[in-house]
Structure 1
Amino acid sequence: MSQHLTRFGHAGLDPLDDLLRGFFVRPMDVPRQESVPGIPMDVKEDERTYEVHAELPGVKKEDIHVHVEGNTVSIVAEVKQAREGREGERVLRAERYYGKVSRSFSLGQDIDDTQAVARFSDGVLVLTLPKRTVASARRLAID
């Protein structure tokens, strides 16, 4: 049985078929997109307060700064993880981060910053943010 060469150079194979066959057979090394880690958090709300739980593992309490203005909350933390290395050792992959991380977000209502409380324990920052009571409008009687 003789093979006939087609315009693609191989009997019965076109370049797309060859490409797809190679794609699924050959291992692929896709470079991972490196990014600065964020601050994962949960926000809960009841009638009087917002409660924020922000994960900051490896951060010291004195390296965390929280700023509240109106209904906007900003968290900035400096991550100081020591880079370890030994003589003659080559780093193959480094995923630990050293630097600043930050996150700002807006809530549905202004915060009473005089009553706000921040606690930090076991790598979790807990913010208790009381809602500012809105002064109710009052109609004045004219005398």
Structure 2
Amino acid sequence: MSTLTRWNPFRTLSRFDPAPGGLDDLFRGMSLRPLLREFENAAVDMRMDVQEADKAYQVSVEVPGAKKEDIEISVEGSQVSIQAEVRGEEIREDHRQVHTERYAGRSTRSFTLPQEIDVEGCTAQYEDGILRLTLPKKANGAATRIAVD
């Protein structure tokens, strides 16, 4: 199975400093970091690991800050989609927001596996911010050896 790599073009830009070295203090107020941080934190980055066994795929997905009732999983053929909503904390009336980096909103992650999934046997568990899926392979999609007479 090939390795999946996610690319975020804003992550590399947020590390760009237009005035490195001695001019850093002079241009500190003009830094791109605060503006680009908004793009970098625009959604929950659902990182995942996929392992394949003979009869099923084991998928572990990081979904930080979500409650299990706010996670939706759909499987169609070999495509798997995960949607999660992270709800922000309410700000009390006698407080004001000074700074925030934590994400609140809806995120989606979809991926395609090499073989179709048996929807009836799928299971999902969510604990400590990790969603664990067991996705059994469909029997008719399995490779079969044919003896030559």
Query: Fold-level match, TM-score > 0.5?
Result: yes
The range that moved more, 24-33 or 49-58, is: 24-33
- 1:35-61 deviation line (CA, Å, top 9, x unaligned): 322211111111111011111122111
1:78-97 → structure 2 map (5 Å cutoff): 78-84=85-91, 87=94, 89-91=96-98, 93-97=99-103
Root-mean-square deviation over aligned CA pairs: 2.3
- 1:101-141 deviation line (CA, Å, top 9, x unaligned): 11000000000000111111111110000001126699xxx
Match of 2:33 in 1: 31
**2:78 maps to 1:71:** yes
Comparing both structures, which one devotes a greater share of its residues to helix? 2
1:125-136 → structure 2 map (5 Å cutoff): 125-134=131-140
Q: CA separation of 1:124/1:90 partners in 2, compared to 1, >3 Å: closer, same or farther?
A: closer
Match of 1:141 in 2: none
Unaligned runs of 5+ in 1: 1-21, 139-143
TM-score, normalised with respect to structure 1: 0.71
**2:58 maps to 1:61:** no
TM-score, normalised with respect to structure 2: 0.68
Match of 2:6 in 1: none
Number of aligned residue pairs: give it: 116
User: What SS does the aligned partner of 2:21 have?
Assistant: helix
AA aligned opposite 1:26: L
Match of 1:120 in 2: 126
Larger radius of gyration: 1
- Contact map agreement 1:38 1:102 (CA 8 A) in 2: no
CA–CA distance in 1 between the matches of 2:118 and 2:95? 55
CA–CA distance in 2 between the matches of 1:23 and 1:64? 42
Q: CA separation of 1:23/1:66 partners in 2, compared to 1, >3 Å: closer, same or farther?
A: closer
Moved over 3 A (4+): 83-90, 135-138
Give me the identity figure in percent: 39
